[in-house]
Amino acid sequence: MVVDAGYIGTKGTALMANGLGVLNQLPPNTLGLGSLLTSNVTSQAALPAAAVALGARYPFGGTGQSVPIWQTLLPFPQLLTGSTVGAWNSPLGFSSYHALQVQLNKQYSSGISWLANYTLSKALGNVTNVYAGGTGTPMIAYNLALQKAIVLTTRPTWSRSACNTNYPSAKGSVSVPR
C-alpha cells in the first residue's frame, strides 16, 4: 500500500476587481455622529463643529442648496444623491487557496488494484468572479481585508475512488487491463 500526502497553496494579489475601487464612500469614523448625519445644511457656516472636525465641507461655493451632513463628509461631496467614483480595472483583489491531498494506492498479486484520494480545501478572497469583471461594491472601501470571505465556488471536500482488475484473455496469454 502506498500513501501519498501533499499540500497545495496559491496566493493571488493585485487581481483586477472593478467594484472594489469605490472612492466616494462615507468614512467609518464619521458614523459616530449618529442622527446628526441626516440633518441638512445650506452653507459651510451651518455645519456643526463635530462634523467640521471630521473634515466636513459644504460642496458649493454659494449658499442655498440643501445637502445632508453625511454628503459633506464624503471625499467628493459635490457628487449628489449618493453618486460615487469608481476606479475601474483597479488591482485591489486578493485570494488564497489551501488544500491537503491524500491518496491511497493498493495493488494485489491477483491483478486487482484500487485507488482512493481525498482533498480538503479552502479558498478565500475578496473577488467573487475575476473573469466576470470583479465583485460588488465593498461594505467598507477603506479596509478591503474586511471583504475577505470563503469563495462561493469552493468545494471544501472532494473524494474519489477506483478499482481496476486484470483478466487473462486466454490461457498463457498476457493480462490486458480493461
Euclidean distance between the first and the last CA atom of the chain, given in angstroms as a whole number = 22
What's the confidence (pLDDT) of residue 130? 46
What's the confidence (pLDDT) of residue 110? 82
Q: Sign of the C-alpha dihedral, residues 128, 132, 134, 139?
A: negative
Classify each residue of 31-44 as buried b or exposed e, where b means 16 or more C-beta atoms within 10 Å of its C-beta. Answer: eebeeebeeebeee
Residue 50 belongs to what H/E stretch?
Answer: helix 49-53
Torsion on CA atoms 99, 149, 84, 53, rounded to nearest 10: -120
Per-residue pLDDT of the chain (178 residues; tens, 9 = 90+): 999 999 999 999 988 776 777 788 888 899 999 999 999 999 999 999 999 999 999 998 877 889 999 999 998 888 877 677 777 777 888 899 999 999 999 999 888 999 999 999 999 988 765 444 455 667 777 888 888 888 877 889 999 999 998 776 666 656 555 5
Separation of alpha carbons 145 and 116, rounded Å? 37
Strand partners, 158: 119
